[in-house]
């Protein structure tokens, strides 16, 4: 046991914390816990006994579990396809990335509390979903319209991913709050979540009333928007970004598989090309991709986030800055400042409209 460096446990009952007393895993660097029956405190105790642990991957339903992480070595935490009562990152001074994906709806529809404590090196954070998480930074619960002081912000986060139902007021009003709490975000990855019942029409006036956001105006360089449906609420958000982001360089939009919407791929693409502010469309030469896969994003895989050499594992595409102009005829647009290559992530199915 003392020589283990990588351990994955699946479809099993996790040993209780009492049974770990005296046990130590001094060289364990990567731990995966998948579809395991655990009790509250079991994972916390295992992590505490692994002083070299850098990567923690968790998957599965763990109803009632309140995860509480204290580790001076953790650099990557990924939790996917899960049910938990709360996730509390108490003290993780080396944590670089926290990725929460596919939070399953627990019985009763309660949201999972996510608390961020001492994380002075946190750089990548996602996928924040206001419909599924209650975010707490240190001792402050993030709510719409909250007054923010500098001491409440997390200034180290450069990559932020949000999953939002743009037709639901309670979701949309949280987006400005999230962006204000992370003032130095340079790459923003948005996903438009399925919305069964549209609760409002959020036009550009809604976003104009939000006012300027520091990260959008002064920091944002990359934005990707996935599962685009061509609705007015999505267009209004993109317009707000294009009108306010002064240093924005790269944009990518992926439209939803037309099988899951009333609009065709051409109709959705036209809503982008015919935005009221056409100068922004011309300026960014927006590449548009079409999903040919199932509705929603492909399941997250631990390999993506665990590659610590990848500065942005959430990005659906990679942008390489070039000084020369390149014509990509098969994309039907000219790229003036960037050459785009697609990183087809695992089984994700993309096509060009």
pLDDT band at residue 215 under the 50/70/90 scheme: very high
Of residues 49, 52, 56, the one with CA closest to residue 23? 49
pLDDT band at residue 64 under the 50/70/90 scheme: confident
Mean pLDDT of the chain: 84
**Residue at 273 is within a domain:** yes
- How far CA 42 is from CA of 68, 71, 345, in Å, comes to 10, 15, 33
Domain extent for 153: 149-158+168-353
**Residue at 154 is within a domain:** yes
Give residue-wise pLDDT tens across range 128-182. 999 999 999 988 999 998 998 898 999 999 999 999 999 898 899 999 999 999 9
**Residue at 153 is within a domain:** yes
Check residue 181 and give its pLDDT.
Answer: 95
Check residue 121 and give its pLDDT.
Answer: 98
pLDDT band at residue 63 under the 50/70/90 scheme: confident
**Residue at 64 is within a domain:** no
Number of structural domains, the chain? 1
Which residue has better confidence, 323 or 8?
A: 8
Check residue 291 and give its pLDDT.
Answer: 81
**Residue at 74 is within a domain:** no
End-to-end CA distance of the chain: 53
Check residue 183 and give its pLDDT.
Answer: 96
Q: Is 279 exposed, middle or buried (0-12, 13-18, 19+ CB in 10 A)?
A: exposed
Check residue 338 and give its pLDDT.
Answer: 39
Check residue 125 and give its pLDDT.
Answer: 98
Give residue-wise pLDDT tens across range 290-344. 887 767 777 889 999 999 999 999 998 887 643 333 333 334 333 333 334 444 3
């Amino acid at each position: 046991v003392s020589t283990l460096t990588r351990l994955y446990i699946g479809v099993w009952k996790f040993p209780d914390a009492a049974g770990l007393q005296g046990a130590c895993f001094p060289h364990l660097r990567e731990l995966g816990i998948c579809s395991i029956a655990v009790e509250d405190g079991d994972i916390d105790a295992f992590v505490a006994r692994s002083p070299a642990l850098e990567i923690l991957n968790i998957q599965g339903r763990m109803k009632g579990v309140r995860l509480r992480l204290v580790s001076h070595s953790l650099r990557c935490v990924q939790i996917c396809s899960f049910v938990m009562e709360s996730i509390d990152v108490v003290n993780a001074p080396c944590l670089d990335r926290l990725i929460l994906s596919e939070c399953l709806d627990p019985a009763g529809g309660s949201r999972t509390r996510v608390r961020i404590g001492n994380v002075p090196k946190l750089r990548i954070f996602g996928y924040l979903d206001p419909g599924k998480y209650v975010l707490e930074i240190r001792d402050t619960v993030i709510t719409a319209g909250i007054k923010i002081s500098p001491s409440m912000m997390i200034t180290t986060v450069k990559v932020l991913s949000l999953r939002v139902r743009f037709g639901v007021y309670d979701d949309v009003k949280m987006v400005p709050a999230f962006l204000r709490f992370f003032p130095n975000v340079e790459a923003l990855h948005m996903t438009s979540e399925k919305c069964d019942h549209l609760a409002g029409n959020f036009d550009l006036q809604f976003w104009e009333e939000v006012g300027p956001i520091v990260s959008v105006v002064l920091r944002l360089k990359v934005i990707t928007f996935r599962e685009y449906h061509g609705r007015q609420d999505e267009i209004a958000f993109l317009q707000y970004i294009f009108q306010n982001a002064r240093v924005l360089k790269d944009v990518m939009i992926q439209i939803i598989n037309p099988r899951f919407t009333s609009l065709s791929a051409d109709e959705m693409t036209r809503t982008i090309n015919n935005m009221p502010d056409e100068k922004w469309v011309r300026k960014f030469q927006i590449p548009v991709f079409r999903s040919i896969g199932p509705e929603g994003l492909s399941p997250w895989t631990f390999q993506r986030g665990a590659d610590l050499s990848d500065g942005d594992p959430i990005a659906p595409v990679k942008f390489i800055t070039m000084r020369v102009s390149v014509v990509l005829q098969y994309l039907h647009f000219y790229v003036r400042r960037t050459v785009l290559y697609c990183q087809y992530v695992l089984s994700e199915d993309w096509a060009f409209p």
